[in-house]
Structure 1
Amino acid sequence: MSNIVDPLVGQIAARVRTERERRGWTLAQLADASGVSQAMISRIERGESSPTAVVLGKLSAAFQLSVASLLALAEGRHTEAAAGADPAPGVRRHGEAARWRDPDTGYLRRQISGPRFPAEIAEIRLPAGATVPYPAAAFAFVRQVVWVLDGRLTFQDGDTVHELDAGDTIELGEPAPRVFTNGTDSECRYVVVLARDARP
């Protein structure tokens, strides 16, 4: 796993620190806004701890960014796009895509879309028995579709639970606490398509 996680730890550390400083927040203020302990944020910013998907969800919610956007920024995709440094649209080989693995659940995210594409598209592999919850604020200002490719995904949207099988899709509405669960004994693979909501 470390060959997937390690390259991004420093980039996530720098991005969390940059987003915090951009807002003029202290560690204590980010801890208060996110519900993540000040000690944990400090370890993340120093690159001493790889945040879990749950922690990233809380931090992204505090920044009013989606988890996908926070990771994309950490990967440097937005910076490269702004500088015109990204490759032209075309073929991207499987091994070239940025990946991030949650050290807690083993959840694996692979970036599909390039930096200039108008939507964030990611492939997720959720291991058997894994559960990843996100706060409602992590979905603010975005529109999102989840498309199950393989396996079964139990998706809780607020108080409503949906059982999604291969081929099923769900388009998400207003922000709500959401939980992605794989209650089976085999991996679930799905795609998340995210676009920034034009509404303020």
Structure 2
Amino acid sequence: MDTLVDDSSAKLARRIRLEREARDWSLADLAERSGVSKATISKIERDEVSPTAVILVRLATAFDLTLAGLLLRAEGEAGRLTRADDQPLWRDPDTGYVRRQVYSRPDHPLELVQVELPAGRQVEFPASSYARVRQAVWVTQGELTIHEGGERHVLTSGDCLGFGPPGPVVIANESHLPCSYVVALARN
């Protein structure tokens, strides 16, 4: 199984630099477009620090990619069939959540992601994360709280929430047990 945090952090660092250079952007340009500091981007590109999910989403959005699209480019192209052992994993260094890229292809509008969120942890995403995607979250185990704009949704195993218009989102596991959920994303 390919694990970005263990096996491919250098690939991700290189991909971010390549995406920036392909657009002929300086570190300052990417910092301005993403809201991530030049120093942080530089450390990420040199593979000195592992970016958090929030930072990766901001960088991907600046490149007009989804998080899955950026991770897929870092790992290389995949075929139509994605075997379980070949699905890339990524662990957020801040929250410890594990993200499995179940399915993603640049020529297909659908992406599937499985996430395991540890107890008592949360991830915050800016509205820009949802500007070019529609998504639904399906909880497969545990309890998940989603703060979307001014709304608070508590989902338990089997519940599914389709996201509304783009807005800031906090995905939280406020329980004492781990939570697993699947995210289905469709590019606009």
TM-score, reference length from structure 1: 0.85
> 1:183: Cα distance to partner?
0.7
Counterpart pick for 2:112 among 121, 136, 140: 121
Within 1, Cα distance between the matches of 2:22 and 2:4?
A: 28
- CA distance, structure 1, for counterparts of residue 124 and residue 46 of structure 2: 25
1:23/1:44 Cα in 2 relative to 1: closer, same or farther (>3 Å)?
Answer: same
The answer as to whether partners of 1:132 and 1:181 remain within 8 angstroms in 2 is yes
Deviates more, 1:101-110 or 1:53-62: 53-62
Contact 1:64 1:140 in 2 (8 A): no
What is the percent sequence identity of the aligned residues?
49
1:117 Cα offset (Å): 5.2
- Tell me the distance in 2 between the aligned counterparts of 1:196 and 1:118: 5
Give 1:164 deviation, angstroms: 0.8
1:144 matched residue in structure 2: 135
What does residue range 149-168 of structure 1 map to in structure 2 within 5 Å? 149-168=140-159
User: 1:172 maps to what in 2?
Assistant: 163
Aligned with 1:109 (options 95, 99, 105): 99
Gaps of at least 5 residues in structure 2 are none
Q: Structure 2 length as normaliser, TM-score?
A: 0.90
Amino acid at match of 1:102: D
Distance of aligned partners of 1:35 and 1:118 in 2 relative to their CA distance in 1, 3 Å threshold = closer
**CA displacement, residues 108-128 of structure 1 (integer Å, 9 cap, x when unaligned):** 011212536541101000011
1:191 and 2:161 correspond: no
1:55-89 per-residue CA deviation (whole Å, 9 max, x = no partner) reads 1122122223222222222221xxx25xxxx3x63
* Cα distance in 2 between the residues matched to 1:124 and 1:19: 26
Q: Specify the SS of the correspondent of 1:156.
A: strand
Tell whether the 8 Å contact from 1:65 to 1:140 is kept in structure 2 after alignment: no
Aligned to 1:44: 44
Greater alpha carbon shift after TM alignment, 106-115 vs 131-140: 106-115
Q: How far apart are the structure 2 equivalents of 1:129 and 1:166?
A: 17
**Residue 87 (structure 2) aligned to one of 94, 97, 119:** 97
For 2:143, give the aligned amino acid: R
DSSP 3-state at the match of 2:135: strand
In structure 2, distance between residues paired with 1:74 and 1:96: 14
Q: Is the 8 A contact 2:68 2:104 kept in 1?
A: no
Match of 1:22 in 2: 22
| RMSD, aligned α-carbons | 1.8
Match of residue 69 from structure 1: 69
Q: Which secondary structure does the structure 2 equivalent of 1:61 belong to?
A: helix
Secondary structure, in 3 states, of the residue corresponding to 1:39? helix
Runs of 5+ in structure 1 lacking a partner? none
